[in-house]
Amino acid sequence: MYFDSPELPREKVFRDPIHDHIHVQHQLILDLINTKEFQRLRRIKQTGTSLFIFHGAEHTRFGHSLGVYETARRICDQFQRNYPSQSPDDGLWDDRNRLLVLCAALLHDIGHGPYSHAFEKIFNTNHEAISIQIITSPETEVNRVLASVHPDFPAAVASVIEKTYPNPQVVQLISSQIDADRMDYLIRDAYYTGVNYGRFDLARILRVMRPHRGGIAFHFSGMHAVEDYILSRYQMYMQVYFHPVSRGVEAILSHLLERASYNYGHFEHPLKHSATLLVPFFEKNWTLSDYLRLDDGVLTTYFLHWLDEDDPVLSDLARRFLHRKPFKSVAYHNETDQARVDRMIHLVEAMGYNPDYYTSLNSSYDLPYDFYRPHQKTKRTQIELVESDGTLTELAQASQIVNAIAGKTWGDHRLYFPHELLKDQPDDLFKEIHQEFLALYQELRQLQITPE
């Protein structure tokens, strides 16, 4: 089944630093952007705690969502111009999928909340499941706008995001190892963080992309542009997304939310200032509309209130977060260093800190690219290069650079602890314990950490 919706008499544009213009050609897209659930994305930052390191990273999920829409729209245009389907099953592009692709691209992150990563861990929410709920639940404006096209349209958009939609071209445009989502966030996050990696030739990639029977492929002549994209992704994860200090701020944020939630369950008067909008989450009994009331500003306001709460742990963690006192960290090898790490956590406790809130273990790993492995649990769609005679070659078979990193995960395990423990302290009450802690820290620093 195909869905259609009238075009605007004259297209509308949004100015965008990445794509220059975001072109809106359907009233439906404009109506979706104007829903309250989508406007909420203006109040949720795209990269969470990264802005404590890269202060430019103030950009929001709103801009990214528009960017993914625009990237998908350009791909549809290019496919329709160069590879229009002539007969069913010819493996070319059927432009009757366009509206579905555009809506899925625009709404793919609609379920994100404030500081998704930390929030999800503590309150057991899931932005992907919430995206589907926002799209399919009759109580949202997004759902009403989508259903105005056809009663089955919301479910179709949801199935693209869930990757169950039967046409692989449509699904791979929105989620695969090289999709409209990843291409937009890599370039956008590089731009706003101000780093010099993460850039690649988007115009060239969009130009060499083409549909084929099993999904999306890239013309062989575009191999170097695709290589560059893979390397950009690898560098952005290593340098920005997995930045040890950003993870040190996130560790505090997680513990702060965890402590507030703990206090709510354990004390009769847990908070001087009531955190009304978080109560349903403390009580583990929240609805979609509770979730949609949260944003970065709500959390920041509560953190400001918590600065002068009676619980010293809560107020101290709020201070560390708001005044940017990230936990320090040291990388360790998961198997061989476990005894040292356990000992260090024990020493932190012996120095008077509650280790549940003042230490944290964080593992951040990314797989920049992998080819299809039939026996693995997560099945990846590999990147295919297509030659003029139509033969397909998997990217790592053709590119030695990609081959060198294919199938390897990169990242590290880190132990986090309060920053002051790396400083000499006058009148150190715990001098011996502190010395032992510092000695273990130095030992770990000197051991070679190799990627696993």
Q: Which residues bind Zn ion (CB under 5 A)?
A: 109, 181
The least distance separating Zn ion from the CB of residue 128, rounded to whole angstroms, comes to 11
Describe the chain by its helix, strand, coil percentages, rounded to 5. Answer: 55, 10, 35
Nearest to 244 by CA among 331, 117, 336, 335: 331
User: C-alpha 182: how far from its chain's center?
Assistant: 10
Output 109 or 311, the one with its CB closest to Zn ion.
109
Question: What span, in angstroms and rounded, lies between the C-alpha atoms of 107 and 35?
Answer: 11
Q: Are strands 360-366 and 20-26 parallel, antiparallel or unpaired?
A: unpaired
- Who's near 34: CB < 8 A, 6+ residues apart? none
The least distance separating Zn ion from the CB of residue 73, rounded to whole angstroms, comes to 15
Residues 100, 160 contacting (CB under 8 angstroms): yes
Output 63 or 270, the one with its CB closest to Zn ion.
63
Output 109 or 316, the one with its CB closest to Zn ion.
109
The least distance separating Zn ion from the CB of residue 411, rounded to whole angstroms, comes to 20
The least distance separating Zn ion from the CB of residue 161, rounded to whole angstroms, comes to 10
Q: Enumerate the β-bridge partners of residue 60.
A: 45
Six token digits for residue 60: 């929001």
Output 95 or 366, the one with its CB closest to Zn ion.
366
The least distance separating Zn ion from the CB of residue 10, rounded to whole angstroms, comes to 29
Question: What span, in angstroms and rounded, lies between the C-alpha atoms of 29 and 117?
Answer: 28
Question: What span, in angstroms and rounded, lies between the C-alpha atoms of 48 and 257?
Answer: 15
Q: Which amino acid is at 369?
A: Y
The least distance separating Zn ion from the CB of residue 46, rounded to whole angstroms, comes to 8
Output 53 or 161, the one with its CB closest to Zn ion.
161
Sign of the CA dihedral 141, 144, 146, 149?
A: negative
Output 109 or 309, the one with its CB closest to Zn ion.
109
The least distance separating Zn ion from the CB of residue 62, rounded to whole angstroms, comes to 11
Residues 118, 250 contacting (CB under 8 angstroms): yes
Output 109 or 337, the one with its CB closest to Zn ion.
109
Six token digits for residue 317: 């963690």
The least distance separating Zn ion from the CB of residue 232, rounded to whole angstroms, comes to 16
Residues 385, 395 contacting (CB under 8 angstroms): yes
